[in-house]
Amino acid sequence: MSGRTRTIKVDTLARVEGEGALYIKLAGERVTEVKLKIYEPPRLFEAFLRGRHFSEAPDITARICGICPIAYQMSAVHAIEGALGVRINPAVRLLRRLFYCGEWIESHVLHVYMLHAPDFLGFQDVIAMAKDHKPIVERALRLKKIGNRIVSLLGGREIHPISAAVGGFYRVPTKNQLRELVDDLEWALEASLETVHWTATLEFPDFEQDYEFVALRHPDEYPFNEGRLVSNRGLDIDAAEYEDHFVEQQVKHSNALHSVLRGRGSYLVGPMARFNMNFDKLSEVAQRAARQVRLTPPVKNPFRSITVRSIELVFACAEALRIIREYEPPAAPRVKVPNRSGVGQAITEAPRGSLYHRYAIDEQGLILTAKIVPPTSQNQKRIEDDLREYAARVATWPLDEATWKCEQAIRNYDPCISCATHFLKLTIARE
Amino acid sequence: MSSKGKRKPKVGVFKFASCDGCQLSLLDAEDELLGVAGAIEIAYFPEATRAVVKGPYDIGLVEGSITTHHDAQRIQEVRRQCKTLITIGACATAGGIQALRNWKDVDEFIRVVYATPQFISTLKLSTPIAEHVPVDFELRGCPINKYQLIELISATLRGRKPNVPSYSACLECKRKSNVCIAVARGVACLGPVTQAGCGALCPSYDRGCYGCYGPMETPNTASLSSQFHILGQSNAQITRDFRGFNAWAWQFRKASEEYEHK
């Protein structure tokens, strides 16, 4: 029995964004091989951004991901503004945080309810889940719609919004337009608190890992667009130093590059990393919700990320309400940005984790080089490390159950394969 | 078989090279999702479900462009499995932003992104689905408009022609009573040659249209290009204007190449 070789194999990973596969080879209870294969075809963004004008970068890089286009727009505009020495209006800074709140709400609700929860409750998908849990799914849809409403108001539409610009926005909302969101957001805040309590009642495998958590940290606020990149193992750097500490490696079985910390290996970005590194910066209502469900840092069980995401949902709703109360429209929607040369880097917190962009720009404003490191390529190696540990625990289970649990372990990360290729097919091998 | 008339139509959602945004539009139709799911059988949709119902399918929705040998073969099988095949979005209908490689050396592109280029297998061109298999309807947009998608699914199920206009974005602007930013302020706007569908979003947000919905039915790109020239745009800039998310659509392709070689 102990020497038996089995294979867990998933050819098309479901309920993830993009295309990937999983292959795990087991000899008895020992895992001999784990490959997270990303076969999403490469689209080569960093190559064709060269020669485009910097003003086009937010529109073009948004198209890397239909689920988190704002993340791409935000990393792009901040990196370029850094390169060109642009200072934005404080009201624009606030609006960009609100824009990100909208994307976090929309993306986190999609993942918590529609992609991840069906695993915990034993459904193939949210539509099947809706038959037994209709009020819960209806709550999800209404919540998601509110996130999308914020995005559409600021950006024109939910997917690939059109108003983010280097220097600000093409158009900014009036105070009254934002106030119209308040009733919905007050409902959303309550619904998010219910989400935290609901996800906390799900069953979690006893699985804790020793992670290096990497996230932005800002002195005054839970991070979106600014801060230093820090970790629980002493990392504390500016975006400009990113490439001195992180290196992308190519592996044969994947079209997505693996990002590792030099000399240390895999690390984790995303909601768990942000929560563990920035708990003190969460709004009071989000901290209280976390304490009520006894979830305080350090959270080391990746299956519990569903509750962490829900706590971030509470934060995003509370933060959106705060911003709307404070907002005074800027004198101009954006500052003028003349053509000049420069190099700039930025890291912002996409729903799935930190997203790094670097641009070098020439004196005509054209992009010379671009580098983009999405959250899923950073988590890819860590997902494989989790699977190496976790697959051993389910090695003796019936193959279909083991396969489903391994898929769930991958979905803990809300992987976005479309982003990472710039991800997933599961093969568990056993004979 | 008496139960046959009640069988729900089987719908499959297939992805090729893309950002996932167009298929996400279905999940973003929050008010309609449960209704749509009640009217059809979602038989294949990996982004949303683990369950896989084998083909054939009544409707296949295809997102993404063809960029690999493997995908060029896969689309043939998808076509064989789908009674009605609908392509959704600029990648599937025009090759997408990744078609920018079509004017460049793709091997050089791969070397820019990957340290070991020999592990990467990709085609020299990113091409729309219709260049590979017959397509029954092409739904434009980067991203598509979710209401147009729902209209298209309903029309297909009822066997009627979908109400998806092919006139220009200018008409949507006029209907919204927008002041024309091109005429009034000299902003370069692709609206006159771009198909409607977004609701004239960019001009409504004080910027020129950048062509997400691709060329309208009979676009006069030459006239618009010379207008851009008058506004002070360089040839290189005019080339870039047409080389966006629908760059490989033949009308935009022709317009960009004219100015590239001027």
Q: Domains plus CATH for chain A?
A: 5-430 (1.10.645.10)
d(CA B63, CA B14) in angstroms, rounded, equals: 6
- Chain B hits for A48, Cβ within 8 Å: 97-98, 100-101, 104, 109
| B191-213 tens-digit pLDDT | 999 999 999 999 999 999 999 99
Split at pLDDT 50, 70, 90, the class of B236 is very high
pLDDT at A429: 53
pLDDT at A423: 31
Mean pLDDT of chain B: 94
Nearest to A376 by CA among A413, A331, A402: A413
| Min Cα–Cα distance to chain B from A141, Å | 5
d(CA B27, CA A271) in angstroms, rounded, equals: 22
> For chain A, how are helix, strand and coil distributed in percent, rounded to 5?
45, 20, 35
User: Is there a contact between B97 and A126 if contact means CB atoms under 8 Å apart?
Assistant: no
Nearest to B88 by CA among B30, B169, B37, B152: B152
- Chain B hits for A68, Cβ within 8 Å: none
Q: Which has the higher per-residue pLDDT, A150 or A8?
A: A150
| Min Cα–Cα distance to chain B from A75, Å | 17
Name the pTM for this structure: 0.95
pLDDT above 70 covers a percentage of chain A that reads: 96
User: Is there a contact between B240 and A56 if contact means CB atoms under 8 Å apart?
Assistant: yes
- Chain A hits for B54, Cβ within 8 Å: none
| B105-118 tens-digit pLDDT | 988 888 887 777 77
| Min Cα–Cα distance to chain B from A3, Å | 31
- Chain A hits for B212, Cβ within 8 Å: 160
> For chain B, how are helix, strand and coil distributed in percent, rounded to 5?
45, 15, 40
d(CA B222, CA B232) in angstroms, rounded, equals: 16
Mean pLDDT of chain A: 92
pLDDT at A205: 96
pLDDT at A50: 96
Q: Which residues contact A162 (CB under 8 A, 6 or more apart)?
A: A59, A155, A156, A170, B201, B202, B205, B207, B210
Q: Which residues contact A92 (CB under 8 A, 6 or more apart)?
A: A168, A169, A172, A330, A333, A334
Q: Average pLDDT of A189-210?
A: 97
pLDDT at A16: 72
| B98-145 tens-digit pLDDT | 999 999 998 888 888 777 777 778 899 999 999 999 999 999 999 999
Answer whether the bond into residue B143 is a cis peptide, omega within 30°. yes
CA distances from A407 to A111, A209, A331, A372, A376 (A): 14, 17, 50, 27, 15
B16 — contact with chain A (CB < 8 Å)? yes
Split at pLDDT 50, 70, 90, the class of A263 is confident
Quick one: residue B194, left, alpha or beta (phi over 0 = left, psi -120 to 50 = alpha)?
beta
Q: Quick one: closest CA in B to A20, which residue? A: B46
| Min Cα–Cα distance to chain B from A424, Å | 10
- Chain A hits for B207, Cβ within 8 Å: 162-163, 165, 170-171
Split at pLDDT 50, 70, 90, the class of B180 is very high
- Chain B hits for A159, Cβ within 8 Å: 21-22, 24-25, 28, 143
The domains of chain B, with CATH numbers, are 2-158 (3.40.50.700), 169-260 (no CATH)
pLDDT at A424: 33
End-to-end CA distance of chain A: 11
pLDDT at B112: 81
B150 — contact with chain A (CB < 8 Å)? no
pLDDT exceeds 60 at position A339: yes
- Chain A hits for B18, Cβ within 8 Å: 66, 418
Task: Give me the sheet containing A367-373, strands edge to edge.
Answer: A342-350, A353-361, A367-373
Using CB atoms, pick whichever of B30, B48, B109 lies closest to residue A44.
B109
d(CA B71, CA B123) in angstroms, rounded, equals: 10
d(CA A117, CA A58) in angstroms, rounded, equals: 32
pLDDT at B5: 56
User: Is there a contact between A41 and B68 if contact means CB atoms under 8 Å apart?
Assistant: yes
Kind plus residue range of the DSSP H or E element containing A342: strand A342-350
